[in-house]
Amino acid sequence: MKICMIGTGYVGLVSGACFADLGNDVWCVDKDHHKIDMLNNNEIPIFEPGLKELVNKNNQQGRLNFTTNLKFAVQKSEIIFICVGTPTLKKKGSADLKYVLQAANEISKCINKFKIIVTKSTVPITTGDKIEKIISKKRSKRLYEVISNPEFLREGEAIRDFRFPDRIVVGSNNKKVTKRLQSLYDPLIKKGAKFFSTNRRGAELIKYASNAFLATKISYINEIANLCEKTGVNVEDVSLGMGLDQRIGSRFLRPGPAYGGSCFPKDTKAITVTGDQFEADLSIIKSVIKSNDKRRLLLTNRVKMILSNKLKMKKIAFLGVTFKPNTDDMRQSTSLLMIPKLHKSGAIINYYDPSGEKKEFSKLKNVSFFDNINSACNKVDLVIIHTEWEEFKAIDFKKISRTKKFKIYDMRNLYSKEMMKKKGFDYYSIGR
């Protein structure tokens, strides 16, 4: 099939490369000339394991192309995916649909024959209605169909998630169009993916409801971890015991920092705004948001406690600052609150992250990036394991601490308490 992906961000680029790898002809479109130039020069603007190889392979074989010419790409394609950003409106908390609606308007000018227009961006209920209204001003309803096909890609695991999805959700009232999308995803369905069709509004809500539920699980186990710390119970035992119940499941029951990234913070806020608009009480989700906001401050205060509230000139090393491993995404990462607050209290901060130096900390004095673990942890008072990168799971702390003994705050529970005690470290973890 011939496909157009509008937007070469995380969703558009990963999905476009994966669709091309299934044998489709894909045009990825973006207004950003720099991005398109990078992609045409085999450079990848985002950090995602395996993506560079996949993009280069399909580009070289002629199935994946990049352009700023939206009209050309739309007219060449049968299916058009809208994959632009939907950031949070700061004052309202709702999703900013500016880029989605702009894309719809541009598409309306280009339609020359029947097109299937698909929202893959995470959008609130009724967004498809708005897109339809915009396009109908310029084109007959016979020339297009607007459907919803939300993405469920995890950063750091995106290519695998596309190739082996739990489910494929398509929202449309047009059975013929639904079958066409089913045909597009047929290679994945044959490998075991479940295809689920519903109406357009239903598909839009499934994405938000899913993310809000997962955010709830994270906040829930983080609160249980707080209780475990007070009562001397191991939260890992609690998580395991809960997870064995098939009604609950074990995934997303690992305590740690507050949830972050591009989805959970934004989508939980957006669904509560939708609830208010439709006068539906979503008090559980609102409480999850509050709990997550408190989490960042609670962990910062615990660092202060570990250092006996004496932070002035104390050296602290952060191992990892992104919200999760295998991504360079800093959005809503707990480190964005912790590091400035600890810095303000007089601490000297070193940090190392495999995805590189972060501009978010560039203006803070006494906050320094190091390009390896040993240098970052040299002669510090406290090491904080913030992000669960693979290379942090087998660190020789004994060797690093020869120059100066330090405390360890393992916010991902990567190490055994007993083992660290035997090695003579003051070791702190989450919920244990």
Q: Is 263 a catalytic residue?
A: yes
- Under CATH, which number does the domain 208-293 receive? 1.10.1040.10
Residue 306 has pLDDT above 90, yes or no: yes
The 10s digit of each residue's pLDDT in 276-287 is 999 999 999 999
Q: What is the pLDDT of residue 245?
A: 97
State which amino acid sits at residue 165: P
The predicted structure's pLDDT at residue 219 = 98
Full-prediction pTM beyond 0.85?
yes
Catalytic-labelled residue, pool 18, 28, 83, 263: 263
Task: Tell whether domain 295-428 is in CATH 3.40.1710.10.
Answer: no
State which H helix or E strand residue 146 sits in.
strand 144-148
Host H or E run for residue 163 = helix 158-163
Mean pLDDT of all residues in 229-241? 97
Q: Is residue 251 a contact partner of residue 213, using CB atoms and an 8 Å limit?
A: no
The residue extents of the domains of the chain are 2-198, 208-293, 295-428
393: exposed, middle or buried (Cβ count in 10 Å: 0-12, 13-18, 19+):
exposed
Contact 143, 115 (CB under 8 A): yes
pLDDT at 127: 97
* Number of helices and strands in the chain (H, E): 17, 14
Q: What whole-number percentage of the chain has pLDDT above 90?
A: 98
Distance CA 268, CA 348 (A): 34
Q: What is the pLDDT of residue 90?
A: 86
Q: What is the pLDDT of residue 214?
A: 97
Closest CA to 119 of 142, 93, 86: 86
Question: Which pLDDT tens digit goes with each residue over 12-48?
Answer: 999 999 999 999 999 999 999 999 999 999 999 999 9
Largest pairwise CA distance in the chain = 74
Half-sphere exposure of 334 (CA within 13 A, CB side): 25
Confidence of residue 165 (pLDDT cuts 50, 70, 90): very high
Dihedral pair phi/psi, residue 67, rounded to 5°: -155, 160
Q: Do domains 2-198 and 295-428 have the same CATH topology?
A: yes
- Both tokens assigned to 90: 């700061």
Written as one string, the DSSP assignment of 37-70 is HHHHTT--SS--TTHHHHHHHHHHTTSEEEES-H
pLDDT digits (tens, 9 = 90+) for 366-411: 999 999 999 999 999 999 999 999 999 999 999 999 989 999 999 9
H or E segment at 351? Answer: strand 348-352
pLDDT for res 92 = 87
For residue 236, pLDDT over 90 is answered with: yes
* Assigned CATH class of 2-198: alpha beta
The burial class, CB within 10 Å (0-12 / 13-18 / 19+), for 278 is exposed
Average pLDDT (228-246) is 97
pLDDT level of residue 296 (50, 70, 90 thresholds)? very high
Element (H, E) at 202: helix 200-231
Residue 121 to residue 266: CA distance in whole angstroms: 13
pLDDT tens digit sequence for 97-140: 999 999 999 999 999 999 999 999 999 999 999 999 999 999 99
Q: How far apart are CA 154 and CA 48, in angstroms?
A: 10
How many Cα atoms are found within 13 Å in the side-chain-facing hemisphere of 299?
A: 30
Q: In angstroms, what CA-CA distances link 365 with 8, 96, 301, 307, 391?
A: 34, 34, 21, 21, 27
At residue 91, does pLDDT exceed 90? no
| Bridge partner list, 4 | 27, 80
